[in-house]
Chains A and B, each alone.
Chain A
Amino acid sequence: MADLDPVTLAVLKGRLEQIADEMDATLFRSAFNPIIAEAHDASHGLYHATTGETLVQGKSGLPIFVGAMSFAVKAVIDKFGAEGISEGDVFIFNDPYEGGTHLSDFKLVQPFYRDGELFCFLASVGHWHDVGGNVPGNYNPVATESFQEGMMIPPVKLFSKGEMRTDVVDILKANSRLPGSLYGDLNGQINALRLGNERLHALLDEYGAGTVAGAMTELRDRAGQLMRSLIKDMPDGRYSADDFLDNDGIHDEPLRIALDIVIEGEKMVLDFSRTSPACDGPVNISRSTAIASCYVALKHVFKDVPANAGVLAPIEFVIPEGSLLSVSAPKPVGGYTETILRIIDTVFVALSTAAPERVNGCAYGTINALSLAGHRKDGRRWVMFSFFGGGHGGNPKGDGLNHGNAPISTATIPPMEILEAAYPVRFTQWALRPDSGGAGRHRGGLGAVYEIELLEEKADVFLFGERGRFAPKGVVGGGSAALNKFTYEQADGDHVPPMASKMVGIKLKKGQKVRLETPGGGGYGDVLERDPAAVAEDVRLGYVSAEAAKETYRTIIAADGSVDAAATEILRAESAQ
């Protein structure tokens, strides 16, 4: 096609992103469940008519979906083919092996037709409140098959040529503990697709289908060009990072996540061949999820690259069949968050040698899903389920953020007053955890300490976490953060789970406590380069203990809190040798 003028291209870029943003806004406003409405666990975009590649993605959706959605569209194209798809169809499914992530995420995919021709796809994904399975809310830490995690719907038609198939809706509702919420969210996603459809038609009316199609291609090509130039900035070479999951919750053996990045000119290969094979517990992921998580990591490192498929064009993935990172049904994938967080960590560490000015130390690296559940005196069931925070890594600009959210998410934590008002618990501590950030020229942010006392007679507790044995790493010479630590009280004293951060079936009695101490972030740069005055300030504020100041930071703090410069210089000189 003819060259698109650069002005129209810049304007169309904004207009196309706007369509996806408006779809996001429509669903956030109309969704029933707070996971979508408040935590924004959803995403929308426009996808290529034949390849399913991401053309445009909204800005406000959940980071991990930004990479995963094109696989969902591809799954529909592969299953139905050109003949099987008609104008007015909408496909629905939650198969995580084809479309990425886990069973809770329902994808709606709609072909968009212009003058009788398939122009592109629109898609919507949202995290539904309950999709069946053994555990309400679908986080089953001891699942060994996906059947224990929830219903699985392969790509099927929700709308056929404009007619809604209410039988499909009936099947969905019959398989959820919260059919009303499910129906509300489903309608919210349909509304978002409807709005996207209208807006895209209006844009095509204004600019013509040829111009918009040309702009989409051009935008993808330019994203590729941008990514290639960023890759080219990094020296050629092989950059490796190995990290581990504590275990899969079934067998107490570490699982290796190994990444070799090979940079050659404008090309980059992400090779996960040395990673452990698939496991029995729920920390497996599908290939599409693995690629999506690499995209999240790259977008954290190269913040300005746009959200379209062009970014991945110069990147090749090597993920062998049968790997922990490339499983198929019915291997359980419900704990996918832990595995993708570890992939993101390996990308940071591997790139830290190639582009030290762009990366940060690893974040706390675990979602720490903690559940306390029981029955009240009147027999009503209660379940307190939440994810907990930790520190972010030190970075070239400064120390890491204290108590942030996971890199794959933008969700916030519920207030403890809301939790105490809703459940029979009392928090006895909700605080920063001193000495939990990795040391370095720029220290990792601090993790947290949450201590919870049970106020009812008894409760069952489960925890699904990670980083109990392998701490978040620092980069560019920075130190590791503290390990994740979970303690639960019993009549005979405090215990820690045999599998470090994973345990089900803990029985808690009234007055007993559980305590979660989360990791901070990894440090950035050599600790001996840290300004002694910054160490003294950390000690004064209690972020770092005086002992760690001396042992780790090689800084001597005088009785009045100031730096003993002479003693520090001697100590650091010794350490440097």
Chain B
Amino acid sequence: MNDLSRKTVVGVDVGGTFTDLFFLDEAAGTCGVAKVPSTKPDQSQGIRGGIAEGGVELGAIGTIVHGTTVGTNALLERNGARTGVITTTGFRDVLEMRRRDRPQTWGLWGSFDPVVPRDLRLEVDERVLADGSVHTPVDPEAVKAAARTLLERGAESVCVFFVNAYANDANEKIALEAVKQVWPNPHVTASSVILPEIREFERGSTASLNAYLQPPVGNYLERLENGLREGGFGGQVLIVQSNGGVMSAEVARALPVRTALSGPAAGVIAGAYIAAAAGEPNIITCDMGGTSFDVSLVADGENALSAQTSIDFGMVVRTPMIEITTIGAGGGSIASVDRGGLLQVGPESAGSDPGPVCYGLGNKRPTVTDANVVMGRINAARPIGGKLARLDVEAAKEAIRVHVADPLGIEVMEAAEAIVRVANAKMAGAIRLVSIERGHDPKSFTAMPFGGGGALHTGALIKEVGLARALVPRYPGVTSALGCVIADMRHDRVQTLNTLLDALDVAALNKAVDEIVAEAEGLLSGANVVFEGVERMVEFDMLYLGQTHTVSVPVPDAMTGGSAALDVAKIRAAFEAAYRSAFGSLLEGIGIRVMNLRVAVIGKRPKFDLALLAPAAGGSVEASRTGERKIWFDGQWWDSPVYDRLSLPVGAEVPGPAVLEQADTTILVDPDLKGTVDSYGNFVIARKG
């Protein structure tokens, strides 16, 4: 990788265990990957180490695109900044009261500690009504006094959050300016700046979590950029957002809440792109980690976006994000037999520390990984990750015997297979539910496994769900890093309108859209990134009067000649089309309400030809064969050839049973399946015959 020119783009995904990097030099037509241990607490060290490992000079890099978990971890581990909230009199508990929910359906033992404790939520007199009129003006001096109290109580960042600020942000703006006059750092947020959308809890939660993340994410990015620049880096750092688009590091410092699902989003983006190149518009990405199995659906090449997510109970973030469904079935999921004599797998997990029994780090209860090791599906002599020299097969066997085989009265091997079957059934169930909730038949989808463990289970998923095939990308372990390289730059804006369609002020609306587009395009051009083109999408959340749930209404012809050209007829037609497609029929004679305006501006970044990833010419299936081992399938041992995955040539056919190994992934081909290397280096698994 020493011959890379100044045009190198580097994708970086920092996970809990590894920092993955993907290097692309378009001019030279070369690419490469690197994987180094993640560094804690300062992830930026690992990134610089990874770049060095890739053999690339910092000065030769034009753009670094980064999927980060700094924000996610700060939320999950509750180590964001000490944050204060200044809010409307009577409403300081909104953040703590949530939407009156509970953590689980069954059992009433949950509790919730908001990231901003009650004594850091201060009230000031002010009030805006739902129609936007100012009922009580805000006194800037009262706001300053509240800010000073928060500072005395140790707050490092602050969020101004007033009710109905979506309808009129005047009071919030006055308060924001007042706070800025006394606040010693730039960590000041207002709810109407972050999310001018109706629903006080969701807006307040998103904005206060943004404030909570500003210091840690901002400090991290500053450290990263400084370190890179000191090393001679002169390019741009871009950050992947939860919506799958990237933003500049500067925007990320102001809006860190948009990085809540940064890493996983990049993986899905890569999945969609790889699959589209391979001629598969409908895929379900499956990322199997130590504790969870993440599923995301791409239909007709489009990622499913959800409007909000809950990072943990009550920690609601409402910004568009790639929809990822997580179930508790990972390599570390623990198998047990309940008092009724039924085999259960998960949701309890041994995680990665102490991890499965075979790691020998203290856990004695068998996991899915232990079952895979016992069945020879994972190579005990060559564990992935390089942390351990080898895996303890006998300990794994013993754990399965004691905790599963004996209680069920079956043999150890049968028990190991049962554990994997039950885990597979759970994963298959997640895939089916995700497709049905979106109105798709799962049979028309292709599975795309990535992450370390996914490719061990795809064969079973093909059979359980009835999927046509599975496509294992060439570098499944660095999919998210690859996604960083190809992600577009995207800025989403929302504004609540809450008006009857017939009473819509079209001129004001078109002006508002133009302003939002201009602002977002300013962010694009200010980022010094090359785009192939810019896409602008206008959508409304709409509903019939009397309903409370909205329908998402894209207006395809909203812009003409670069400016907004919306009218009532166009919006009505779009609503009726969207409603009919969702519910089959319209409700005649009932008024229509326009709740929110949503605008997305997308700077299309140049894509690279995935054929770059394909294996070099030459090589043969035989030459790629590195050995043979016994693998347990369907109640018996099978002598299964082992291949070096990366040296298999294009067009190579591998009938099951077989195992393909590469540095960070093991791919299993069941006896009744076969795999083929396509022209991009993907390994496509399908039924025999």
Chain A residues within CB distance 8 Å of chain B: 5-7, 9-11, 13-15, 18, 21-22, 25-26, 28-30, 32, 34, 37-38, 59-60, 63, 180, 184, 187, 195, 219, 222-223, 225-226, 229-230, 299-300, 303-304, 306, 360, 363, 388-389, 392-393, 395-405, 407, 410, 412-418, 420-421, 426-432, 445, 448, 451, 540-543
- CB contacts under 8 Å to A, within B547-574, are 547-549
Given contacts A9-B342, A360-B109, A540-B119, contact A25 B198 (CB under 8 A): no
Residue of B93, B109, B342, B422 with most partner-chain A CB within 10 A:
B109
* Residue contact B436 to A26, C-beta cutoff 8 Å: yes
What are 30 A-B contacts with C-beta separation under 8 Å?
A5-B410, A7-B418, A9-B343, A10-B343, A10-B344, A14-B429, A15-B425, A18-B429, A22-B433, A34-B548, A37-B549, A60-B105, A187-B584, A225-B339, A225-B340, A306-B340, A363-B108, A395-B109, A403-B96, A404-B108, A405-B102, A407-B108, A413-B100, A417-B164, A417-B166, A418-B199, A427-B163, A430-B97, A448-B93, A543-B118
C-alpha gap A144/B572 in the complex (Å): 46
Q: Which of A187, A397, A428 makes the CB contact (< 8 A) with B90?
A: A428
* Residue contact A410 to B101, C-beta cutoff 8 Å: yes
* Residue contact A432 to B111, C-beta cutoff 8 Å: no
- CB contacts under 8 Å to A, within B403-428, are 408-410, 414, 417-418, 421-422, 425-426
- A-B pairs with lowest CB-CB distance, top 5: A222-B340, A389-B100, A226-B340, A7-B418, A412-B99
Q: Which of B90, B341, B417, B585 makes the CB contact (< 8 A) with A451?
A: B90
* Residue contact A417 to B408, C-beta cutoff 8 Å: no
- CB contacts under 8 Å to A, within B95-124, are 96-112, 117-119
A148 to chain B, nearest CB (A): 24
C-alpha gap A223/B344 in the complex (Å): 14
B454 to chain A, nearest CB (A): 19
* Residue contact A7 to B421, C-beta cutoff 8 Å: yes
Chain B residues within CB distance 8 Å of chain A: 90-94, 96-112, 117-119, 127, 129-130, 135, 163-164, 166-167, 198-202, 338-344, 408-410, 414, 417-418, 421-422, 425-426, 429, 432-433, 436-437, 439, 498, 547-549, 583-585, 587
C-alpha gap A392/B98 in the complex (Å): 14
Q: Inside 8 A of A401's CB, which chain B residues have their CB?
A: 102-103, 108, 110-112
C-alpha gap A60/B429 in the complex (Å): 14
Given contacts A222-B341, A541-B118, contact A18 B97 (CB under 8 A): no
Q: Inside 8 A of A395's CB, which chain B residues have their CB?
A: 108-109
Q: Which of A6, A396, A404 makes the CB contact (< 8 A) with B100?
A: A404
Minimal Cβ-Cβ distance residue in B for A432: B93
* Residue contact A417 to B97, C-beta cutoff 8 Å: no
C-alpha gap A32/B110 in the complex (Å): 32
Q: Inside 8 A of A412's CB, which chain B residues have their CB?
A: 99-101
B45 to chain A, nearest CB (A): 38
C-alpha gap A410/B425 in the complex (Å): 27
* Residue contact B343 to A416, C-beta cutoff 8 Å: no
Q: Inside 8 A of A363's CB, which chain B residues have their CB?
A: 108
Residue of B91, B92, B97, B201 with most partner-chain A CB within 10 A:
B97
Q: Inside 8 A of B409's CB, which chain A residues have their CB?
A: 6
Minimal Cβ-Cβ distance residue in A for B201: A415
Q: Inside 8 A of A29's CB, which chain B residues have their CB?
A: 436-437, 439
Minimal Cβ-Cβ distance residue in B for A388: B100
Q: Which of A30, A38, A226 makes the CB contact (< 8 A) with B549?
A: A38
Q: Inside 8 A of A37's CB, which chain B residues have their CB?
A: 549
15 further A-B contacts with Cβ under 8 Å, apart from A396-B109, A402-B96, are A6-B341, A14-B425, A219-B342, A300-B108, A303-B104, A360-B108, A363-B108, A398-B109, A403-B97, A415-B198, A416-B200, A417-B200, A430-B90, A541-B118, A543-B118
A444 to chain B, nearest CB (A): 11
Q: Inside 8 A of A398's CB, which chain B residues have their CB?
A: 109, 111
C-alpha gap A186/B304 in the complex (Å): 28
C-alpha gap A340/B98 in the complex (Å): 25
Given contacts A22-B436, A38-B549, A417-B130, contact A300 B107 (CB under 8 A): yes
Q: Inside 8 A of B90's CB, which chain A residues have their CB?
A: 427-431, 451
C-alpha gap A417/B135 in the complex (Å): 15
